[in-house]
Structure 1
Amino acid sequence: MQYGYFDEKNKEYLITKPNTPAPWANYLGSPEYGAIISGNAGGYSFVKSGANGRHIRYHFNSKDEPGRYIYVRDLENGDYWSGSWQPVGKDLEQYKSVCHHGTGYTNIVAEYDSIRTETLYYVPMNKTYEVWRMKVRNDGSKPRKLALFGFVEFTNSNNYEQDTVNLQYTLFTSRTYYKNNKILQVINENTPEEQSWRFFGAAGAEVTGYDGDRDTFLGDYRGYGNPASVENGQCANSLNYNTNSCGVLQINVDLQPGEEKEVAFLLGQYEEQGASEVLSHYKDLAVVDKELEELKTFWHSKLNRFQVQTPSDNLNNMINTWNAYQCFITFIWSRAASFQYCGLRNGLGYRDTVQDIQGIIHLDHEMALERLRLMISAQVSNGGGLPLVKFDHNPGHEGTPDDPEYVRETGHPHYRADDALWLFPTVIKYLNESGNWDFTDEVIPYSDRGEATVYEHLRQALQFSLDRMGAHGMPVGLHADWNDCLRLGAKGESLFVAFQLYMAFKVFIDIAQNKNKPEDAAWAQTLLEELDENIQKHAWEKDQFVRGFTEDNYTIGSWENDEAKIWLNPQSWAVLSGAARPDQAKLAMDKVYENLRTDYGTMLFYPPFRKYGLPVALMALFNASTKENAGIFSQPQGWLILAETMIGNGDRAFEYFLDCSPASMNDKAEIRKLEPYVHGQFVESKDSPYQGRAHVHWLTGTASTVMVSLVEGIMGIQPQFDGLRINPCVPSDWKTFSMVREFRGKKLNIQVENQNGVEKGVSRLIINGKEIQGNLIPVAEMKDDNQVQVFMG
C-alpha cells in the first residue's frame, strides 16, 4: 500500500495517508537545537544533547506521543480535532491530511468540517528555539467560532533518564508560571547554579486561557486524544506545582467564510526576558515565510551541488534529495537521537562519524573538514581511536580505553580494531575533492597527549594495526571489527580489518608518493605485499574469502561450517580494497549473489547462528534473520553496490540498489514499515516471518555508504587530485542520462550517451567542445561553467 509520494521539484516527501505503519519522521534544527517530528506531529526537542538537554517528552516504543499538538475546537457545536491527524484521530473519511516533510521543515495541511489548517514546524537558521505557525481558514459558507489550543508536555528534568525514572525527585523540582502570552517552566528555582528555564509562547493573537499542569489539562483517566480542557472549550488556567508540567495556550478565533488567520507558537529553553525577546521577533508573522525560504535556500544549495537525471525516478529521488539529506542528518546527529535512539549517547562514535563524513564530502567538503579535524584529534597517540568522542571533547587531555577514568565516564573499556583505519578512505576522499593537500601537513593533537601532522596521524593508525597482528599475519579483531557482535579478541584475526589495512596501505602509498616520501612508500609497499601473501595463503577458500579466525583457530565463515558459511563483507571488501584477484572477485561476488541476495537486500551472512554463540558470536542472541544474525544489515549494501561497479557489473549493481532502496518499497509500506525515503539500520531476512520489515530509522551509516556507491560507483563521478574522473557503471538499458556537479568552484553539466548499452567504459569525452584522452578531466581544462559530453561504449 502507498501512503505518500516524492515531490522531486520541491524536494519533499508528501504523506497523504496519516495512518502510516510506523511514525514517519523528519529532523529540524542544528547541533545547537534538535527536533524530531513525525507526520502526526509526535516527537521531542532538545538543546545540544537528547539526553541532557531534553525539554519536551516523548514516549518511546509507544504510540508516537506526545508531541507538538494544536487542537481545534468548534465553540458552537463542541466538536474538536487536531491540526495533525493524531492525537484526536478523526475518521479519515471526513478528516483529510497531507504532511509535507522537507529539508529542515515539516508542514501539515488538514481539512475537516470546512476548516482548513496548515501547520508549519521549523527551527530558524542559527536559532535555539522552534516555531509552529498555524494558518486556519474557513472554507464553509457560515461564520465559525473556533478555539486553538497549542500544547507541549515539558520534561521535569533536562536529563531524559531522570525525568523518566527518578520520579520521587523530578516531580518536585519544577513549576510553571503564566506571563504575557507565555507559559514559563522553571526547574530548581531555588538553586541558581542548577536552575533551568523553558517557555511556550504565542504570537499573532492574544491568549484567552492557559494550562501549565498536564494532569489538569488532560483530566483524570484521559489521554492526549480527549483532553478535558479542549473538551470543555476552555483552559482551566492551571499551573504546575509538584506534578507534571506542560504548556497550553488557548487562542479564540472568529472566521468569516473564506477568511484566514494565522498564529504562531514558539518553544525553547529561555527565561522570561529571553522568551519575550523571541516572541517580539514574531510581532509580524511575515518573518515566518522569510525564515522558511532561508532554510530551503541553505539546504537546497548544498543538495544542488550534485544532481542527476536518469531513467530511474527511484534513484533520482534518493540521490538528489533524500539520501543526500539523510547523509547530512546522520553526519550532524551520528547515532544520538531518533525514535529508537533515546539520546543517551552523549558523543560521537569514532568509526560511525568518520564514515558518515564520506557521504557529504562531495556536497560540502568544508563542513566535512571541520568534523574530520575533530575525529583526527580523537585518535589516541598509540594510533587507535577513542570509541566515543564526547560532545565536549578536549584534545590532548582525554583519557583512553587504557584509563579507568575514561572507562567510568564513557563505559567503553576496549579498543575496536577498525576505528582509526576509517581515516584512510575518508582523508583521501577529502584530499581529492578539495585539492587541499596542505592538509596532510596540518598539525593536530592526539586525544591523550602530543600532536602530529595529519600524515603522521595516518602512519600511526597503520602502526596500531601492525602492533596487533595475529598468527596468520593479519590484524586481530579486538573488541569489534565494525561488526559489534563479532568479538575476535586480542588474538583472533579479522579479514574485514585485513582488507581495511590493505586499502590503508594503498592510500598511504599514494599520499607518500604525492608528498615525495619514497622511503615511506617503500615501507608501506613491503608491508602491503606481506599482507597480500598472508591473505592469499590463509583466507581464500575455493570461491570465497573467510571472515576471520578465533583465538582457538576456529575459522569464521568457512565452507566447512554449518552456520554462517558465507559472509558478505569479506567478499565486497576484497574487491573494494583491491586485494581480490580478478578471478577471485568474480567467483566471490557471484557466490554472494547466489547465496545471500534477497528481494529486500543482501544478508550479512547465511545461515544464521543458532548453536555457535558466546563469547565470539554475540549475534546469536538475536533471532535468526535479525540484525547481525543473518539479517539484511543495511550499511554493507553500499559497499556491495560499489564493489560490483568496480568490476563492471552495472546491471547487478543497480539491482542491488533497487533491492535496498527505501523508495523501492513506497508501494509496499505495510511490509517495510519504516519511512520509504530514508534508510534504516537493518531489514529482517528470509528466516523471519516478517521478511522485508525494516527497523531503526534515519541514523545509520547506510546513508553514507549507499551515497558513495551511487555517486562514485553507478554515476562514476570520482574526484582525483588533478581532476575529475568520469567512469559510470550503469544498467545496460540506460541509453542517456545527465548530471550536474560542482567541483572546486566549477560547474560541470554532464550529458552521458550510452547508445550501445554497455555497463561500463568511456570511449570519448568532450569538454567545452574539446575532446580529451581518457576519462579524466584535468582541472586546467575546466571553466567556471562547463559542458561535458561523455560517450560510453
Structure 2
Amino acid sequence: MQYGYFDEKNKEYLITKPNTPAPWANYLGSPEYGAIISGNAGGYSFVKSGANGRHIRYHFNSMDEPGRYIYVRDLEKGDYWSGSWQPVGKDLDQYKSVCHHGTGYTNIVSDYDNIRTESLYYVPLNKTYEVWRLKVRNNGSQARKLVLFGYVEFTNHNNYEQDNVNLQYTLFISRTYYKNNMILQSINENVPEDQCWRFFGAAGAEVTAYDGDRDTFLGDYRSYGNPSSVENGQCANSLNYNTNSCGALQINVELQPGEEKEVVFLLGQYDEEGASEILGQYKDLSVVDKELEELKAYWHSKLNRFQVQTPSDNLNNMINTWNAYQCFITFIWSRAASFQYCGLRNGLGYRDTVQDIQGIIHLDHEMALERLRLMISAQVSIGGGLPLVKFDHNPGHEGTPDDPEYVQETGHPHYRADDALWLFPTVIKYLKESGNWGFTDEVIPYSDHGEDTVYEHLRQALQFSLDRMGVHGMPVGLYADWNDCLRLGAKGESLFVAFQLYMGFNVFMEIAQNKNKPDDVQWAQGLLDELDTNIQKHAWENDQFVRGFTEDNYTVGSWENDEARIWLNPQSWAVLSGAARPDQARLSMDKVYNNLRTEYGTMLCYPPFKEYGMPVARMVLFNASTKENAGIFSQPQGWLILAETMIGNGDRAFEYFLDCSPASMNDKAEIRKLEPYVHGQFVESKDSPYQGRAHVHWLTGTASTVMVSLVEGIMGVQPQFDGLCINPCVPSDWKDFSMVREFRGKKLNIQVENKNGVQKGVSHIILNGKEIQGHLIPAADMEAENTVRVIMG
C-alpha cells in the first residue's frame, strides 16, 4: 500500500495517508537545538543533548505521543479535532491530511468540516527555539466560531531518565506560571540558570485561557485524543505545582467564509526575559515565511551541489534529496536521538562518525573538515580511537579504554580493532575533494597526550594494527571489528580489519607518494606485500574469503561450517581494498549473489547462528534473520554496490540498489513499516515471518555508504588529486543521463551518452568543446562553468 509520494521539485516527501505503519519522522534544527517530528506531530525536542537537554516528553515504543499538538474546537457544534490526524484521530473518510516533510521543516495541511488548517513546524537557522505557525481558514459558506489550543508537555527534568523514573523527586521540583501570552516552567535544579526555564508562547493573537498543569488539561482517565479542556472548549487557567507540567494556550477566533487567520506558537528553553524578546520578534508574522525560505535555501544550496537526472526516479529522489539529507542528519546527530535512540548515548561513536563524514564530503567538505579534525583529535596516541567521543571532548586530556575513569564515564572498556582505520578512506576522500593538500601537515593533538601531523596520525593508525597481529599474520579483532556482535578478542583475527589495513596501506602510500616520501612508500609496500601473502594463504577458500579466526583457531565464515558459512563483508571488502584478484572478485561476488541476496537486500551472513555463539558470536542472542544474525544489515549494502561497480557490473550494482532503496518499498510500506524515504539499520530476512520489515530509522551509517556507492560507484564521479574522474557503472539499458556537480568552486554540467548500452567504460570526454582521452577532467582545465559530454563505449 502507498501512503505518500516524492515531490522532487520541492524536495519533499508528502504523506497523503496519515495512518502510516509506523511514525514517519523528520528532523528539525541543529546540534544546538534538536527536534524530531512525525507526520502526526508526535516527537520531542532538546537542547544539545537528547539525554540531558530534553524539555518536552515523548513516550518511546508507544503510539507516537505526545508531541506538538494543535487542537481545533467548534464552539457552536461542540466538535473538535487536531491539526494533525492524531491525537484526536477523526474518521479518515471525513478528515483529510497531507504532511509535507521537507529539508528542516514539516508542514501538515488538514481539512475537516470545511476548516483547513496548515501547521508548519521548524527551527529557524542558527536559533535555539522552535516555531509552530498555524493557518486556519474557513472554506465553508457560514461564519465559524473556533477555539484553538496549542499544547506541549514539558519534562520535569532535563535528564530523560530522571524525568521518567525518579518520580519521587522530579515531580516536586518544577512549577509553571502564566505571563504575557505564555506559559513559563521553572525547574529547581543545581544547574546553570539558562537550563532552569522553558516557555511556550503565542504571537499574532491574544491568549484567552491557559493550562500549565497536564493533569488538569487532559482530565482524569483521558488521553491526548480527548483532553478535558478541549472537550469543554475552555482551559481551566491551571498551573502545575507538584504534578506534571504542560503548556496549553487557548485562542478564540471567528472566521467569516473564506477568511484565514494565523497564529504562531513558540517553544524553547528561555526565561521570561528571553522568551519575551523572542515573542516580540514575531509581532509581524511575515517573518515566518522569510525564515522558511532561508531554511530551504540553506539546505537546497548544499544538496544542489550534486544533482542527477537518470531513467530511475527512485535513484534520482534518493541522490538528489533524501539520501543526501539523511547523510547530513546522521552526520549531525550520529546515533544520539531518534524514535529508537532515546538520546542516552551522550557522545559520538568514533567509527560511526568517521564513516558518516564520507557521505557529505562531496556536498560540504568544509563542514566535513571540522568534524574530521574532531575525530582525529579523538585518536589515542598509541593509534587506536576512543570508542565514544564525548560532546565536551577535551583533546590532550582524555582518558583511554585502559583508564578506569574513562570506562566509568563512557561505559566503553575496550579498544575496537576498526576505529582508527576508518580515517584512511575518509581523509583521502576529503583531500581529493577539497584539494587542501596542506591538511596532511596540520598538527592535531591526540586525545590523551601529545600531538602529530595528520600524516603521522595516519601512520599511528596503521601501527595500532601492526602492534596487534595474530598467528596468521592478520590484525586481531579485539572488542569488535565493525560487527559489535563478533568478539574475536586479543588473539583471534579479523578479515574485515585485514582488508581495512590493506586499504590503509594503499591510501598511506598514495599520500606518501604525493608528499615525495619514498622511504615511507617502501615501508608501507613491504608490509602490504606481507599482509597480502597471509590473506591469500590463510583466508581464501576456493570461491570466497572467510570472516576470521577465533583464539582457539575456529574459522568463522568457512563453507565447511554448519552456521554462517558465508559472510558478505569479507567478499565486498576484498574488492574495495584491492586485495582480491580479478578471478577472486568475480567468484566471491557471484557467491554472494547466489547465496545471500534477497528481494529486500543482501544478508550479512547465512545460515543464522543457532548453536555456535557466546562468547564469540554474540549475535546468536538475536532471533534468526535479525540484525547481525543473518539479517539484512543495511550499512554493508553500500559497500556491496560499490564493489560491484569496481568490477564493472552495472546491472547487478543497480539491482542491489533497488533491493535496499527505501523508495523501492514506497508501494509496500505495510511490509517495510519504516519511512520509504530514509534507510534503517536493518531489515528482517528470509527466516523471519516478517521478511522485509525494517527497523531503527534515520540514524544509520547506511546513509553514508549507499550515498558513496551511488555518487562514486554508479554515477562514477570520483575526485582525484589533480581533477575529477567521470567513470559511471550503470545498467545496460541506460542510454543517457545527466549530472550537475560542483567541484572546488567550479560547476560542471555533465551529459553522459551510452548509445551502445555498456555497463562501464568511457571512450572519451568533451570538455567545453575540447576532447579529452580517458575519464579524468584536469582541474586546471576547468572554467567557472563547464559543459561536459561523457561518451561511454
**1:100 alignment counterpart:** 100
**1:250 alignment counterpart:** 250
Deviation at 1:774, TM superposition (A): 1.1
Q: Which amino acid letter does the alignment assign opposite residue 22 of structure 2?
A: A
Q: Which amino acid letter does the alignment assign opposite residue 517 of structure 1?
A: K
CA distance in 2, matches of 1:727, 1:140: 58
Q: Is 2:493 the partner of 1:490?
A: no
Where do 1:622-771 residues align within 5 Å?
A: 622-771=622-771
**2:519 alignment counterpart:** 519
**2:110 alignment counterpart:** 110
SS class of match (1:737): strand
Q: Which amino acid letter does the alignment assign opposite residue 694 of structure 1?
A: A
Q: Which amino acid letter does the alignment assign opposite residue 281 of structure 1?
A: Q
In structure 2, the CA distance between the partners of 1:572 and 1:263, relative to structure 1 (3 Å rule), is same
CA distance in 1, matches of 2:731, 2:265: 50
- TM-score (structure 2 length as normaliser): 1.00
**2:504 alignment counterpart:** 504
Q: Is 2:228 the partner of 1:228?
A: yes
Moved over 4 A (4+): 189-195
CA distance in 1, matches of 2:547, 2:418: 14
CA distance in 2, matches of 1:772, 1:628: 46
CA distance in 2, matches of 1:193, 1:640: 51
* Aligned partners of 2:175 and 2:240 also within 8 Å: yes
Q: Is 2:184 the partner of 1:184?
A: yes
CA distance in 1, matches of 2:633, 2:721: 33
Q: Which amino acid letter does the alignment assign opposite residue 665 of structure 2?
A: M
Q: Which amino acid letter does the alignment assign opposite residue 242 of structure 1?
A: N
**2:263 alignment counterpart:** 263
Where do 1:252-651 residues align within 5 Å?
A: 252-651=252-651
**2:74 alignment counterpart:** 74
CA distance in 1, matches of 2:251, 2:133: 13
**2:84 alignment counterpart:** 84
Q: Which amino acid letter does the alignment assign opposite residue 551 of structure 1?
A: E
CA distance in 2, matches of 1:67, 1:559: 51
CA distance in 2, matches of 1:662, 1:457: 37
1:96-138 C-alpha deviation (Å, 9 max, x unpaired): 0000000000000000000000000000000000000000000
- TM-score (structure 1 length as normaliser): 1.00
Deviation at 1:190, TM superposition (A): 9.0
In structure 2, the CA distance between the partners of 1:250 and 1:566, relative to structure 1 (3 Å rule), is same
In structure 2, the CA distance between the partners of 1:193 and 1:76, relative to structure 1 (3 Å rule), is closer
**2:5 alignment counterpart:** 5
1:7-28 C-alpha deviation (Å, 9 max, x unpaired): 0000000000000000000000
SS class of match (1:732): coil
* Aligned partners of 1:188 and 1:194 also within 8 Å: no
**2:47 alignment counterpart:** 47
SS class of match (2:126): coil
CA distance in 2, matches of 1:598, 1:627: 15
Deviation at 1:559, TM superposition (A): 1.1
1:740-775 C-alpha deviation (Å, 9 max, x unpaired): 000000000000000000000001110000001211
Deviation at 1:189, TM superposition (A): 6.9
* Aligned partners of 2:148 and 2:252 also within 8 Å: yes
Deviation at 1:788, TM superposition (A): 0.2
Q: Which amino acid letter does the alignment assign opposite residue 36 of structure 2?
A: I
* Aligned partners of 1:109 and 1:119 also within 8 Å: yes
Q: Which amino acid letter does the alignment assign opposite residue 711 of structure 1?
A: V
SS class of match (2:481): coil
1:297-352 C-alpha deviation (Å, 9 max, x unpaired): 00000000000000000000000000000000000000000000000001000000
Q: Which amino acid letter does the alignment assign opposite residue 267 of structure 1?
A: L
CA distance in 2, matches of 1:318, 1:209: 46
CA distance in 1, matches of 2:610, 2:559: 17
SS class of match (1:666): helix
**1:56 alignment counterpart:** 56
SS class of match (1:740): strand
CA distance in 2, matches of 1:143, 1:778: 68
1:252-311 C-alpha deviation (Å, 9 max, x unpaired): 010000000000000000000000000000000000000000000000000000000000
* Aligned partners of 2:492 and 2:550 also within 8 Å: yes
Q: Which amino acid letter does the alignment assign opposite residue 540 of structure 1?
A: W
1:550-595 C-alpha deviation (Å, 9 max, x unpaired): 0000000001100000000000000000000000000000000000
Deviation at 1:537, TM superposition (A): 0.1
Q: Which amino acid letter does the alignment assign opposite residue 270 of structure 2?
A: Y
* Aligned partners of 2:746 and 2:784 also within 8 Å: yes
Deviation at 1:191, TM superposition (A): 8.2
Deviation at 1:780, TM superposition (A): 1.1
CA distance in 1, matches of 2:190, 2:378: 39
Q: Which amino acid letter does the alignment assign opposite residue 584 of structure 2?
A: Q
Unaligned runs of 5+ in 2: none
Q: Which amino acid letter does the alignment assign opposite residue 432 of structure 1?
A: K
CA distance in 2, matches of 1:241, 1:317: 50
* Aligned partners of 2:194 and 2:271 also within 8 Å: no
RMSD over equivalenced CA pairs, Å: 0.8
Deviation at 1:188, TM superposition (A): 0.1
* Aligned partners of 1:476 and 1:488 also within 8 Å: yes
In structure 2, the CA distance between the partners of 1:129 and 1:723, relative to structure 1 (3 Å rule), is same
1:181-215 C-alpha deviation (Å, 9 max, x unpaired): 00000000798769600000000000000000000
* Aligned partners of 1:188 and 1:195 also within 8 Å: no
**2:168 alignment counterpart:** 168
**1:150 alignment counterpart:** 150
CA distance in 1, matches of 2:55, 2:784: 47
In structure 2, the CA distance between the partners of 1:564 and 1:752, relative to structure 1 (3 Å rule), is same
CA distance in 1, matches of 2:648, 2:721: 23
1:425-450 C-alpha deviation (Å, 9 max, x unpaired): 00000000000110000000000000
CA distance in 1, matches of 2:102, 2:193: 39
* Aligned partners of 1:80 and 1:231 also within 8 Å: yes
In structure 2, the CA distance between the partners of 1:189 and 1:352, relative to structure 1 (3 Å rule), is closer
Deviation at 1:359, TM superposition (A): 0.1
In structure 2, the CA distance between the partners of 1:41 and 1:402, relative to structure 1 (3 Å rule), is same
CA distance in 1, matches of 2:54, 2:297: 28
Q: Which amino acid letter does the alignment assign opposite residue 698 of structure 2?
A: W
Deviation at 1:48, TM superposition (A): 0.2
* Aligned partners of 2:401 and 2:412 also within 8 Å: yes
SS class of match (2:667): coil
* Aligned partners of 2:182 and 2:202 also within 8 Å: yes
CA distance in 1, matches of 2:228, 2:521: 74
Deviation at 1:628, TM superposition (A): 0.3
Shifted more, 185-194 versus 198-207: the winner is 185-194
Instruction: Work out the percentage of aligned pairs sharing the same amino acid.
Output: 89
Deviation at 1:701, TM superposition (A): 0.1
SS class of match (2:283): coil
CA distance in 1, matches of 2:718, 2:71: 51
* Aligned partners of 2:139 and 2:257 also within 8 Å: yes
SS class of match (1:177): strand
SS class of match (1:210): strand
* Aligned partners of 2:194 and 2:269 also within 8 Å: no
CA distance in 2, matches of 1:642, 1:732: 17
SS class of match (1:668): helix
Q: Which amino acid letter does the alignment assign opposite residue 351 of structure 1?
A: R
CA distance in 1, matches of 2:145, 2:234: 13
